Chain A
Amino acid sequence: MTHPKAQRVFLVDGARTPFLKARQGPGPFTPVDLAVQAGRPLLARQNFDRAAFDLVILGCVNVIADEMNPARVAALRLGLGEQTVAFTVQINCGSGMQSIDTAYRYIREGSHQMILAGGAEALSHAPLMLRQSAVEWFGRMNAAKGPMDMARAMTGLRPEFFKPVIGLERGLTDPITELNMGQTAEVLAHRFGIDRAMADTYAMESHHRLAAAQKGGRLFDEVMPVFDRDGTVYDHDDGVRPDSDMESLSKLNPVFEKPHGKVTAGNSSQITDGASWVIVASERAVEAHGLTPLAEITDSEWAALDPSIMGLGPVLSATPIAQRHGLELNDIDLWELNEAFAAQVLSCIAAWNDEDFCRNVLGYDAAFGRIDRDRLNVDGGAISLGHPVGTSGNRIVLHLANAMKARGAKRGIATECIGGGLGGAMMLEAVT
């Protein structure tokens, strides 16, 4: 059987909620609430009907019990109709990009025409869990038949049962190497000679760039305000610190490996809630509806490496794309490289500029080069915006498309590191 000719795939439009820093306790929105609030205006501003979508895919890591298969719940709440299939994907931090990639591949092979692909995360709702010992005790209580039985089970009660396990802590620790994410950044900082000052400088720039983008209205079409039932309006990414400076950053203590570490809360991504969607469509659908896409998706790649150095995921996944298309450093106009940690971003930059590394690991003859800071995360990133784990992959692709359009860029790559030792990358090109 011959394969059908590969279809061209376009990123038509997208929108996201403001990213909201997790503060005291659960925020006002669940993952699906966020997905609905981002999706509603996005769908309303299209010139075609909801029925045009063949499929909905949503990335989400912390799925909550009330919203099993959040893709389907969100699709139904968005009025996409009972006959639209919807599923949820999870590849840790890469989930929001995985949804786009899956959409890209389905459309490329011709089985679908228009897919809504997104990411949603409400880390503030990450559960407090009972310790295993407490769970077992509750089980015995439940099974108790009669007062004598119950009294016997009661005597097993221990005070430690009431100390919850913080789900988020466990989620951000790799089970194979038993390093938490911040520790993997320390490993890279050591290996690539990233010092505290460099990391802090990078972090400060992230905040300044986001603040400038907000002030300059560059996020107007991307960020849709969200509204809670108390009447509060959230209309901007609220983790931003426009006045971030080296002095205040330098006062922070290392948070993952005290007292000598270089990674602090100030130069790491923030714990955040947020959702994002993009509309992915075939050339046929673009023509049929008379659409003006933001960009064309021209390639994607996933890579795997040791979990203890997961931060190098971008290097491992973006490079094969560049190599396949014969691209040199300067052929790529814009980069969105997820800012999990400043030290991790800078390690990737250093690795690409390291001749030894490029020869031995990437198969190049020479160093790939040093990515120009003015092409990298031009409007800020996860350090200032926050990193809602299942959403970030989606946001960086969406923002790359918007930034390329605003700057008249021809080609861009969005890429991220993924907890567990993976990397994802996607290339966009301006529509000809």
Chain B
Amino acid sequence: MTGHVLKYLGESKLELGAAEERKGNWRTGRDQEGILWLALDKADSSTNTISGDVLRELERHVSAAEEDLPHAVVIRSAKPGGFAAGADITGFAKMSDEGAAELLTQGHAVLDRLEKLTCPTICVVHGAALGAGFELALACDIRIAVPSASFAFPEVQLGLHPGLGGTFRLPALIDSTEAMTMMLSGKTAHTNRAKTLGIVDEIVEERHVAAAVRAFAKTGIERAEPGLKTRALGLEQARTLLARQMRNRTEERAPADHYPAPHALIELWEEHGTDRRTMQRGEIRSFANLLKTPSSKNLRRVFFLRQKLKDTARGDDDIAHVHVIGAGTMGAEIAAMAAIRGKRVSLSDLDTTALGRAIKQAAKLCEDKHLTNAETRDALDRLMPDPNGYGISRADLVIEAAPERIEVKEKTYAELKAQMKEGAILASNTSSLSIDDLSAHAPDKTRFAGLHFFNPVAKIPLVEVVVGSDTDTQTADRLAAFCGAIGKLPAQVGDYPGFVVNRILTPYLMEAMVLMDEGVPKEVIDSAALRFGMPMGPVTLADQVGLDIGLHVAESLRDRLDKPMAEITDMLQARVEQGDLGRKTGRGFYDWSDGTPHPDSEEHGPADLTDRLILPMLNAAVEVLGQGVAKDADQIDAAMIFATGWAPFRGGPLQYARTRGTRDVSDRLRALAKAHGPRFEPDEGWQGFN
């Protein structure tokens, strides 16, 4: 709500104290009480990153403080968006081995000197303090958080670990198990949790920052002696025990041969524990080594791919009201996500019980996301169950999530014609029907497209924005912006059977069915895929997606594409007919009544098992690229990683193909074709792909 009064008064401005004079990336100044204010305001960016320049300039300010000691030093960000988003990782890609270690050593030196200043050093954090930003905050004596502050070490998601002192400063400040968990998981600690953990010393509203700073400048802070637990962990045996536990837990989610970084961190901590000096040297060395690993290079590329997709999601979607047709699993969750993100949503369905379930699901989602009572109330107020479809004429976007039958969708679209607003967009969540076929019945072809979400909607960030032949650019852009508005990553793709993700994923699922027909146990199949680095085996995934959906998509691909494919097995058809559809019915190929199955077989099955599962995906990816369905290879890799969790440390299917060698891959495909059938024949696109 920003009425004219609030607009006039303006947003609560950031308290920058005396930091007026701008030099490079920092604004500085000493106030009347002798407090030195340093506000990070990175030039040419709306976000702060801790670059080489930033650290060099900080060094100069620290030098000046050493010579003429201020009453206290305050470090904060001048960017409204947050404190600092970490180190400048574009820089890393260009660094040589020695270059990296050199830069890190210099960075450590600055932070060490900052830490050693004998006056109180106070860090004020608003918004996110990530990675190196968090490390800058840790080098200060005192941390004040403004509500909205959050802290995290996401380096592990880039195949690294903290490299500017986090590995010893955080365990020294808070419980070391909590510290290690934060660094190993990359999880965020929000304001209140950060205070409970001990990362933050005080939480104050922005309007009281100046007063809080003055108070701390006067008193400094007393830190309690290290407790029994910390002292116990000074002993090597204690650390070894704990390290073993951490290693086992980490191995489950991030096996060492795929993801070396968390294991390197555990080793570092186990060996050097509370010996700060050796830990510091070890940290620099370990970080520099990890930079070179293919896993880290690929994960850093994934980060950029994510940024690229995010960039396409900018702009104004002009969508205030969304109407969702169909309160099944997908429709209900899409509606809930949009309402939680601030859109006004109406949800219609022929069955009011389904609407009731949708509300229950939405309430649960609010709880899972740790929304406050007021936020939950507001989100649920925005989500209107709409059995009579009153919302359709108010909607700027209508998302059709009805059953996958063309007659049903046609009928629905016909009814919409009379009700939809001028300029409103109609989008279909279809996975197996052609957008161009459906557009023939849409109220306005230019404002019709596919908006393909993945199950579970709340967890999977990727959405395929399927652009039909008549969809105009404005519609495609608005849909991409809508995805951004509701926290999703849009991939604009063309209308092609299976679009991008399902086209590539289906051969993986269908080959698994064929293998099961050949007598290979499903646990063996899934375990092989897990060993390769897929987050879920194909049989588990088929159950998760829904065997009926998988079957629909497979049939649609078979009918619409003139390409040899894995036969749809009788077993699959039988299950679907029986109603064993997978997770949503409690049973598919696996029994889901006790939760997600975790197949773990020591057996390796046939020698070519893994290639039979993985290579068809590469083949389909090359086909999709050649047909111009996706923008480029990067987008295909991004889509697969963000929609299916495709082994991110391998960079995605096309990156993996490049790494393995495109010639090697096509030769292997030819060999598999000889042994098992034409479905493995390499696509003609391999010739032009590199």
Contacts and interface: CB of A to CB of B under 8 A. Distances in A.
B355 interface: yes
B387 A229 contact: no
Given A44-B391, A77-B381, A230 B360 contact: yes
B394 interface: yes
Contacts of A228: 359
B1 A44 contact: no
Contacts of B380: 229
A39 to B, nearest CB: 10
B148 interface: no
Contacts of B393: 47
Interface in B349-406: 352-353, 355-361, 363, 377-378, 380-381, 384-388, 390-391, 393-394
A286 to B, nearest CB: 19
B612 interface: no
Contacts, number: 53
B384 A40 contact: yes
B583 interface: no
Contacts of B352: 225, 233, 235
B43 to A, nearest CB: 38
B359 A41 contact: no
A44 B363 contact: no
Interface stretch (A78-86, A90-98, A203-211, A291-299): A78-86
A227 interface: yes
Given A45-B390, A82-B3, A83-B3, A229 B359 contact: yes
Contacts of A230: 360, 363
Interface string B650-675: 00000000000000000000000000
A233 B363 contact: no
A41 B348 CA distance: 12
Contacts of B357: 231
Nearest to A47: B393
A82 B1 contact: yes
A229 B386 contact: no
Contacts of B386: 41, 44
Nearest to A220: B388
A235 B385 CA distance: 12
Interface in A390-406: none
Nearest to B387: A225
Contacts of A77: 377-378, 381
B356 A233 contact: yes
A232 interface: yes
Nearest to A41: B390
B344 interface: yes
Contacts of A233: 352-353, 355-356, 385
Most A Cβ at <10 Å: residue of B3, B356, B357, B386: B356
B346 interface: yes
Interface in A215-243: 225, 227-233, 235
A233 B357 CA distance: 9
Contacts of B390: 41, 44-45
A41 B384 contact: yes
Contacts of B3: 81-83
Nearest to B381: A77
A22 interface: no
Contacts of B344: 79
Nearest to A49: B394
A318 to B, nearest CB: 34
In the A-B complex, list the 8 residue pairs whose CB atoms are closest, starting with the nearest: A231-B360, A44-B390, A45-B390, A229-B363, A233-B356, A231-B356, A227-B359, A40-B384
10 contacts: A41-B388, A82-B3, A225-B387, A227-B356, A227-B359, A228-B359, A231-B359, A232-B356, A233-B353, A233-B355
Given A41-B384, A44-B390, A81-B3, 17 more contacts: A36-B381, A40-B381, A41-B390, A44-B346, A44-B384, A44-B386, A45-B390, A78-B381, A79-B344, A225-B387, A227-B355, A227-B359, A227-B385, A230-B360, A231-B356, A231-B357, A233-B356
